[in-house]
């Protein structure tokens, strides 16, 4: 008796069944009823069956879908289905039925997807709370010793009356604590028990711990995985080198950020008679982490590493990530090497992939390479010493590869990324754009080339692959962008087909103009999220037909999957018996899980950035800032500041000079009386009125409405 047997029965009978009917249909004995009861309960918990009074029905037959609920700041939510082939399902706030952000739920589909809109559904069952522990802000001590608290996640709009699990926990109003939620008192209040104090709300490290808890990010490795890691040697042993090419004499180097501690890729470039030879060596994590081992199971559960301003939660323990699998300088390391021979234009003509042992000859930073190669600073050139000629050749090849990518239509958005700076005591001193140069691009170009080469290697052999796919952009949003631009520039014509090449040409034509900001912002919003899949659908943003992640197995589990698939392919080319090829169903399940964990990592990084930004701006209320309108809604517009990388909102309710109407087709707000308009990309001067850590909001008001706005005719003619 198994769950599969029961599901098969329900599909054959094609109607809901009670427990007694299940026993009769399967001709079981009465003594089996407890087994059937347990299996039915498990299938309900898994979201495969739905309980209907005294019967059970197939969720799929009842138009029900199981997935994770993601609630937006506005109150509504989306269910991300476990079946990665289905699109997200929209859930109105009134249909959440007490489900929280991150919960595993069953949603009943009420209406199918229409053009440009998701299918709509209603939560019918909460299968599993996404968070067993909630970070809360402590407000005050109540009569009787309990504490009045509120979840730190602004998407959970209720209070919690908390008792202390341990009287040794000392709290003060304003602290952040961890709470086990209990029963619901009414729609605004729950019970709970405080298990630990994290610390004062204003401490960035406390905010990081809070975000990790909010997103169920593991902060400790189980003893099994730690024991396995500790049992590994500190350095490769002689037996590890068997069957590997010895490349230790070749001058591989690593190039990373100044604060990086794990180095999973090294590069080397040589000039050849008819072009170049590029080696990309990637740490052979799969050699030390067998599939199904404790380390592997924990890495799969985590999915990837999680990066925060002051800490990292790695996918593997430091023994591997910073030691045995890190390509540190002057030590032998096991790698998988992708060797690409290119022609004079930089186009790859031949690829070979094999296991090797290398020795990194230098640990370089992007800044060092920029100063030595791009700026040609003499002191910096002397410091990189004997690897300088290779670095100059690497720049030459990377520019040619970049040119090839550009010609085929690969999209590169000109939007800055924030970087947070701290002083010695851990206080935030600034948040400004991250400085990037072509030294960063050298590594990016080589990693993209290696990823494409490995994907092609597996496709060519007819083997399964864990592809990195990026769906076509939202065509309706792209059409809106072209319509918006063509109203003020008649030379812009909407293309018949929205290819990456057409979009890249648009970005290039607007570079350096006052419309560049609008184009980059609206194009980015039109892009869909990349994900993992065993089905090759191509990568729209890179304009790549075959793409996969291979180059970061220390921090991404998908890359580890690809390493194992490559080893299967190499074993098939050899004399021995190859390992079993994973089935597509298994790859679908892994791909869906990893795509979900990637979303968690992205959400967590966005949340901690927002929290640090809000903390940094708390002492600047009343100050005036220059900014640019970054997003427009029917209730106001968001302003991105120029002096510091922060974003906040000017609400229409704060503007008393006119009544404003939102024109979505033109991305502007227009005054009904004056015709004054506010458009995307427009420069404004604002005053910071309010900072709310509870709501994660910055609220601005316009310093001068007249100076900040123009007549709508100036913007549409």
pLDDT one-digit tens code per residue, 146-170: 999 999 988 888 999 999 998 888 9
Which residue's entry shows tokens 């080397």? 268
**Nearest-angstrom CA–CA distance, 588 and 158:** 37
Indicate if 338 and 243 belong to the same structural domain: yes
Q: Could you tell me which of 537, 530, 401, 529 has the C-alpha nearest to residue 459?
A: 537
**Nearest-angstrom CA–CA distance, 441 and 551:** 15
Indicate if 423 and 448 belong to the same structural domain: yes
**Nearest-angstrom CA–CA distance, 221 and 294:** 10
Residue 612 lies in a domain: no
Indicate if 599 and 678 belong to the same structural domain: no
Q: Using pLDDT thresholds of 50, 70 and 90, give the confidence band for residue 707.
A: very low
**Nearest-angstrom CA–CA distance, 318 and 73:** 36
Q: How far apart are the first and last CA of the chain?
A: 73
Q: Using pLDDT thresholds of 50, 70 and 90, give the confidence band for residue 576.
A: low
CATH number, domain with residue 14: 1.10.10
Instruction: Please tell me which residue, 109 or 283, carries the higher pLDDT value.
Output: 283
Indicate if 597 and 646 belong to the same structural domain: no
Q: What is the DSSP letter of 528?
A: P
**Nearest-angstrom CA–CA distance, 146 and 163:** 5
- How many percent of the chain have pLDDT more than 70? 97
Q: Using pLDDT thresholds of 50, 70 and 90, give the confidence band for residue 711.
A: low
Q: Residues for the chain: how many in total? A: 717
Number of domains in the chain: 6
Residue 313 lies in a domain: yes
Indicate if 196 and 86 belong to the same structural domain: no
Q: Using pLDDT thresholds of 50, 70 and 90, give the confidence band for residue 445.
A: very high
What residues contact residue 29 under an 8 Å CB cut-off, 6+ apart?
none
Last residue of a domain, one of 151, 171, 201: 201
Where are the strands (E) in 538-607, listed by range? none
Instruction: Please tell me which residue, 142 or 110, carries the higher pLDDT value.
Output: 142
pLDDT of residue 197: 95
Q: How many CB atoms lie within 10 A of CB 350?
A: 12
Which residue's entry shows tokens 């809360």? 136
112: pLDDT strictly greater than 80: no
Q: Using pLDDT thresholds of 50, 70 and 90, give the confidence band for residue 704.
A: low
Q: Using pLDDT thresholds of 50, 70 and 90, give the confidence band for residue 113.
A: low
HSE-CB of 653 using CA atoms within 13 angstroms: 3
Helix (H, G, I), strand (E, B) or coil at 238: helix
Q: Return the structure tokens found at 219.
A: 């902060």
260: pLDDT strictly greater than 90: no
Indicate if 181 and 326 belong to the same structural domain: no
The secondary structure of the chain in percent helix, strand, coil, rounded to multiples of 5, reads 35, 30, 35
Indicate if 270 and 292 belong to the same structural domain: yes
**Nearest-angstrom CA–CA distance, 528 and 470:** 7
Query: Which residue range forms the structural domain that includes residue 152?
Result: 134-201
Measuring CA to CA, how many Å separate 327 from each of 255, 258, 265, 332, 550?
Answer: 11, 15, 7, 8, 16
Quote the longest CA-to-CA distance of the chain. Answer: 87
Indicate if 290 and 393 belong to the same structural domain: yes
Q: Which helix (H) or strand (E) holds 177?
A: strand 175-186
Q: DSSP assignment of 51-92, as one string?
A: EETTEEEETTTTTEEEEEEEE-TTS-EEEEESSTTSPPEEE-
706: pLDDT strictly greater than 50: no
Measuring CA to CA, how many Å separate 517 from each of 17, 667, 716?
Answer: 59, 13, 17
Q: Helix and strand tally (H, E) in the chain? A: 19, 35
Q: What is the DSSP letter of 319?
A: I
Q: Which helix (H) or strand (E) holds 178?
A: strand 175-186
CATH number, domain with residue 687: 2.40.50.140
Q: Return the structure tokens found at 45.
A: 């918990």
Strand duo 647-651 + 697-702: pairing:
parallel
Which of 114-118, 261-265, 484-488, 490-494 is least confident?
Answer: 114-118
**Nearest-angstrom CA–CA distance, 193 and 171:** 13
Tens of pLDDT, residue by residue over 452-485, are 999 999 999 999 999 999 999 988 889 988 988 8
Indicate if 117 and 245 belong to the same structural domain: no
Q: Which pTM value belongs to this model?
A: 0.87
**Nearest-angstrom CA–CA distance, 524 and 530:** 13
Indicate if 698 and 584 belong to the same structural domain: no
**Nearest-angstrom CA–CA distance, 98 and 89:** 17
Last residue of a domain, one of 98, 128, 158: 128
Do 83 and 592 form a contact (C-beta atoms < 8 A)?
yes
Q: Could you tell me which of 181, 285, 304 has the C-alpha nearest to residue 240?
A: 285
Indicate if 319 and 459 belong to the same structural domain: yes
Q: Could you tell me which of 52, 74, 50, 191 has the C-alpha nearest to residue 126?
A: 50
């Amino acid at each position: 008796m198994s769950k599969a047997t029961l599901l098969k029965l329900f599909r054959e009978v094609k109607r809901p069944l009670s427990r007694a009917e299940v026993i009769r249909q399967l001709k079981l004995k009465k003594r089996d009823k407890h087994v059937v009861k347990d299996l039915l309960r498990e299938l309900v918990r898994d979201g495969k069956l739905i309980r209907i009074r005294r019967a059970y029905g197939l969720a799929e037959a009842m138009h029900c879908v199981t997935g994770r609920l993601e609630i937006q700041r506005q109150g509504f939510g989306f269910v991300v289905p476990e079946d990665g082939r289905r699109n997200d399902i929209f859930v109105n706030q009134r249909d959440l039925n007490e489900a929280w952000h991150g919960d595993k739920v069953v949603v009943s589909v009420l209406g199918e997807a229409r053009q440009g809109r998701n299918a709509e559904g209603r939560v019918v069952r909460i299968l599993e709370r996404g968070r067993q522990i909630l970070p809360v802000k402590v407000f005050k001590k109540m009569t009787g010793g309990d504490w009045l608290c509120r979840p730190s996640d602004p998407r959970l709009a209720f209070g919690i009356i908390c008792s202390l699990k341990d009287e040794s926990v000392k709290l003060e109003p304003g602290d952040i604590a961890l709470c086990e939620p209990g029963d619901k008192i009414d729609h605004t209040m729950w019970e709970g028990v405080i298990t630990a104090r994290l610390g004062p709300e204003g401490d960035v490290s406390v905010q990081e711990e809070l975000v990790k808890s909010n997103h169920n990010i593991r902060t400790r490795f189980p003893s099994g995985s730690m024991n396995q890691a500790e049992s590994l040697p500190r350095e490769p042993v002689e037996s590890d080198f068997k069957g590997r090419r010895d490349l230790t004499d070749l001058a591989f180097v690593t190039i990373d950020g100044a604060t990086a501690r794990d180095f999973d890729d090294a590069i080397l470039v040589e000039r050849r008679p008819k072009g170049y030879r590029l080696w990309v060596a990637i740490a052979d994590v799969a050699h030390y982490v067998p599939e199904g081992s404790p380390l592997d199971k924990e890495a799969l559960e985590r999915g990837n590493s999680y990066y925060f301003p002051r800490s990292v939660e790695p996918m593997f323990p430091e023994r591997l990530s910073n030691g045995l699998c890190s390509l540190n300088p002057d030590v032998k390391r096991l790698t998988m090497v992708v060797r690409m021979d290119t022609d004079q234009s930089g186009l790859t003509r031949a690829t070979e992939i094999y296991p090797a042992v290398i020795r990194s000859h230098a640990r370089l930073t992007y800044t060092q390479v920029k100063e030595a190669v791009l700026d040609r600073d003499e002191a910096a050139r002397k410091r990189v010493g004997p690897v300088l000629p290779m670095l100059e050749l690497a720049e030459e090849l990377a520019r040619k590869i970049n040119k090839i990518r550009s010609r085929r239509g690969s999209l590169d958005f000109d939007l800055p990324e924030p970087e947070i700076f701290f002083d010695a005591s851990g206080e935030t001193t600034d948040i400004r754009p991250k400085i990037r140069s072509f030294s960063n691009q050298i590594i990016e170009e080589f990693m993209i080339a290696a990823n494409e080469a490995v994907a092609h290697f597996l496709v060519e052999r007819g083997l399964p692959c864990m592809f990195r796919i990026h769906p076509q952009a939202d065509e309706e949003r792209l059409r809106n962008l072209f319509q918006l631009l063509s109203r003020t520039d008649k030379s812009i014509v909407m293309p018949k087909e929205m290819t990456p090449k057409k979009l890249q040409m648009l970005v290039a034509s607007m570079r350096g103009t006052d419309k560049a900001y609008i184009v980059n912002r609206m194009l980015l919003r039109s892009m869909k999220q990349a994900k993992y899949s065993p089905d090759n659908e191509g990568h729209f943003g890179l304009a790549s037909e075959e793409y996969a992640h291979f180059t970061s197995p220390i921090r991404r589990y998908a890359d580890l999957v690809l390493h194992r698939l490559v080893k299967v392919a190499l074993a098939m080319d050899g004399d021995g018996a190859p390992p079993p090829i994973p089935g597509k169903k298994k790859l679908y399940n892994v791909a869906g899980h990893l795509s979900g964990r990637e979303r968690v990592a992205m959400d967590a990084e966005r949340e901690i950035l927002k929290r640090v930004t809000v903390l940094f701006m708390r002492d600047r209320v009343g100050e005036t800032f220059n900014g640019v309108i970054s997003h427009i809604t029917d209730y106001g517009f968001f302003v991105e500041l120029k002096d510091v990388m922060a974003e906040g909102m000017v609400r229409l309710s704060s503007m008393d000079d006119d009544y404003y109407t939102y024109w979505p087709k033109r991305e502007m707000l227009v005054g009904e009386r004056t015709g004054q308009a506010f458009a995307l990309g427009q420069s404004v001067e604002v005053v910071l009125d309010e900072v709310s850590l509870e709501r994660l909001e910055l609220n601005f008001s316009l310093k001068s409405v007249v100076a900040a706005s123009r007549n709508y005719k100036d913007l549409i003619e």
